[in-house]
Structure 1
Amino acid sequence: MSQLGPGFVPTPVAQLPWKILLLVTAIGMFGLVVLYSAASGSLTPWAMSQGIRFFVFLAMAIVLSRVPETFWALGALPIYVIILVMLIGVELLGAVAGGSQRWLDLGVIRIQPSELMKPAIVLAVARFYEMLPAGEIRRFSAIWPAAVMIGVPAVLVMLQPDLGTALMIVAGGLTVMFLSGLPIRLFIGGALLVAIAAPLAFNFLLHDYQRNRVLIFLDPESDPLGTGYHISQSKIAIGSGGITGKGFLQGTQSHLDYLPEGHTDFALATMMEEWGLLGGFFLLLAFGALIRWGINVGVRAQSRFARLTAAGLASTIFFYCAINMAMVMGLAPVVGIPLPMISFGGTALMTTMICLGILMSIDRQNRKVTRW
C-alpha cells in the first residue's frame, strides 16, 4: 500500500514537481491554440494529433521521473552505444522522406535516432567526466574521448543531412565539457580552429541548400521570392503583429498561406502575428522559468554526474528555444529546429519530455537527500 503524503495524497504523486508540470502543460496548451489557429480554426490536421502526443509524452516524462538516478548513470554509456548503432543503421537502411534519410523504420514504429541522441550525448559525456579522476581533468586524456563521443554522432547526423540536429548534439556535449572544469583556454583555442575551418566547411562539407541558407541569412533580400522567402515572410508576420497582435484567428500571413511551415518551424511567427509581442514575452518567461528550474536542479544535485546531466539537459531545451527564435526572427540561418511544445511534430516534443523526465528524476533524488 502506498504511503500517504499531506492531505492523504499518495507519496509518489505528492513528490512530483507540480509547479513545473503545470507550467509545461500551460506551454503545451498554448501550443495547441497556435496550431488550432494555424489550421484556420480547426482541430485537424494538427491540434488534435499534437494534443494526443503531448499528453502521452507528458505521461512518459512522469514515468521517467520515477526511474532512480543511478539507472541513468549506469545506463548512460550503453544507451549512447545503442543509439549510435541506430544512427549507423539509418545510414545503411534508413527510410528517406523529404530528401533526407533520418528515420529507422522498425515496422511498428518509425524512429528518428538523431533526436534521441540529444539527451543521450549529455548523459554519456556527463558519465565520462564522472568516472574521470579529478587529477586528469587538465590532461589531454580528458578531452579526446569526449570529443570523439560528440564528433561521431554529429558527423553521422550531418550525412543525413541534418545540420540543425548535428549542431544541437555538439552544443549539448560541449556544454557538459565546459561545465566539467576543462581549462577555458581549450575552448578559446577550439573556437579559433572553428573560425579557421569554417570557410573550408562552408565550401566542401555543406550541401548546396545549406550554403544558400547561410547566404540568405546574411542578405535575405537578395532572393525574397526564392531561398529568402521563409525569413522575409516570417519577419512580415512578426512585425505586423505589433505589441498586442491582430487577434486570435485574425492572422493573415499563415491563413492566406504566405508563411511557409507556419505550423512547424515558423509556428512562433504564426503566434506572434496574432498575439503580438505580449505573446512572445509570455513564451520567453515560460521557457525561461523551465530552463531556470532545470539549472537549479543541477545546482542542488549531490553527484557530479547529476549536476552535469541536469545542466546539459536544461541547456538542450535552451538551445531548442534560442535557435528557433533566432531563426524565425532572421538572427540565425534556417536550420529546421522547431520550438518545443509549440511547433507541430512529435520528435522535438518527445526529446523535450525525455529531458524533463530525467530532470524530474534527478530532482526527486535531490529532495530525498535533503529530507534525509
Structure 2
Amino acid sequence: MSQHPVGATPDRATANSAAPGADAALRDAPSDKVPALRVTDLRKTYGNGVEALKGVSLDVAEGDFFALLGPNGAGKSTLIGIVSSLVNLTSGSVEIFGTDITRRRSDAMRLIGLVPQELNFNLFEKPLDILVNYAGFYGVPRKVALERAEVELKRAHLWSKAQMTSRTLSGGMKRRLMIARAMMTRPRLLILDEPTAGVDIEIRRGMWDSLQEINASGTTIILTTHYLEEAEHLCRNLAIIDHGSIIASGPMRSLLAELDVQGFVLDTDGVLPATLPVIEGATLRARDAHTLDIDMPREMDLNHIFVALDAAGIKVRSMRTKSNRLEELFVRMTARPEQSA
C-alpha cells in the first residue's frame, strides 16, 4: 500500500470563490486571531450531480479539540478530504492557519497531519522504519526523525514493537501507529478520521489519553467519530453536518445545555424489582440488577424521583450524570424533517 502522506500528490486545479455562505454565522474563533481552520462557503458537487457540500462555513480555533459529527453520507468525508487536499472543491475556500489550500497548497499541507480511517502503511515494514521514512518524505533529517520516532512510539506504547513487522500488530496497535506517524512532521493541525474504529473500549480509552496529551502540547485536533461518547469526552467544540450543511455548531457544553432532558445513572443497594415504579414525566430503565437509568425533564425536581424510588423500596447508593447526552442531541438534530430537504 502507498505510504504517501497528505500533500504528496500533484497540485490540482480547483475553483475558488470566497463568497460568504449560509453557515458563516456559526464561526466561534476570535476575530483577532487566525483560526487553525477556516472554511468559507465550501461547496462540492460531484460529476454525477450529487451536491455533497452546500455552502459550509466554520472556524476551528487554534489549540481546540473539535468534533465534526454527522450520519453516514452527510458530507464529513468530503469535507475532510477537501481540507486535506485529497478531494477537489467546487467553490468556496479553505485556509489552514491563514494559508489558502488552493493558492498555497504545499505550504498548507505542511501544517496538517492526517490519520485516515483506512490503514495505509506497508504491513511488511517495521514501525520504526514507517515513521522515519514518513518524516524523511517531508525532509526531516534522519537523526531528528529517529529521535521523534522514539518519542512517538513511546507515547503510543509501541516502543517495544519498534523492530517487529507491522502486520503482527493488533488492530489497536495499528491505529496508534497511524497517529504516531502523523505526528512525525509536528503538524499544527491533526485530523483524525475515525481513529478508534474497531478498537475495544479499554484500548480506546488509552488512546484518548494520548490524544489529550497531544492536544495539551498545542496541537489543534479535528476528530470525526461514530462513538459519540468519545466526542463528548474529548472535544470542547463541535459541528454537526447533515445533508451537506452545518446544522449545529458551537461549544459542547452550550449545545448540550440546550437539551430539555437530563439523564442520570443510579446505583442501588439490593436488586431492583422486576417492575419499576411509574413516575409521571420520567423514564426509568434497568441497566442491570443494581443500576437504574433515568431520563427526566430538566425542570423536574430530582428529589421527587428519590421519594418515589424510596416508596418503592429502592435505595440509592450513588448517582452520576449520564454520558450519552451528545447522542441525544445528535439524534434530535439529524432526525428533524426540515433538515432532510
TM-score by length of 2: 0.26
| TM-score (normalised: structure 1) | 0.24
Larger radius of gyration: 2
Higher share of residues assigned helix: 1
